[in-house]
Amino acid sequence: MKGFITKSKAIITKDRAMGLFSILLLIFLWKIISVTTASEMLLPAPEKIFRVLVKLVASDDFIFSAGYTVLRGLLGFLISLAVGIITGIMAGLNRTFDVMIRPVIVAVRATPVISIILLALIWLATDLVPVFIGFLIMYPIIATNVTEGIKSVDGELVAMAKTYRVKTSRLILEVYIPAISPFITGGISNAAGIGWKAIIASEVLSQPRFAIGTQMHTAQSYLMVAELVAWTVIAVILSYIFEALIRLLEKRAARWRREIV
Give contact residues for other proteins (rule: CB under 8 A): 156-157, 159-167, 170, 174-175, 178-179, 256-257, 260
* Residue among 165 and 221 whose Cβ is closer to other proteins: 165
* Residue among 169 and 221 whose Cβ is closer to other proteins: 169
Other Cβ atoms within 10 Å of 201 Cβ, number: 18
Burial 18-34 (b: 16+ CB within 10 A, else e): eeeeeeeeeeeebeeeb
* Residue among 124 and 161 whose Cβ is closer to other proteins: 161
How far apart CA 226 and CA 48 sit, in angstroms, is 7
* Residue among 128 and 171 whose Cβ is closer to other proteins: 171
What is the DSSP track for 100-155? Answer: HHHHHHHHHHHS-HHHHHHHHHHHS-TTTHHHHHHHHHHHHHHHHHHHHHHHTS-H
Q: How far is the CB of 46 from other proteins (least distance, A)?
A: 46
How far apart CA 141 and CA 77 sit, in angstroms, is 11
Q: How far is the CB of 49 from other proteins (least distance, A)?
A: 45
What is the DSSP secondary structure assignment for residue 211, as one 8-state letter? Answer: -
In sequence order, what are the residues at sequence separation of 6 or more whose Cβ sits closer than 8 angstroms to the Cβ of residue 62?
56
* Residue among 159 and 223 whose Cβ is closer to other proteins: 159
Q: How far is the CB of 248 from other proteins (least distance, A)?
A: 18
Q: How far is the CB of 204 from other proteins (least distance, A)?
A: 42
Query: Rounded to the nearest 5 degrees, what angle is found at the Cα of 20, between the Cα atoms of 185 and 259?
Result: 40
How far apart CA 41 and CA 44 sit, in angstroms, is 7
Q: How far is the CB of 36 from other proteins (least distance, A)?
A: 55
* Residue among 58 and 256 whose Cβ is closer to other proteins: 256
Q: How far is the CB of 166 from other proteins (least distance, A)?
A: 7
Q: How far is the CB of 33 from other proteins (least distance, A)?
A: 50
Other Cβ atoms within 10 Å of 97 Cβ, number: 15
* Residue among 67 and 178 whose Cβ is closer to other proteins: 178
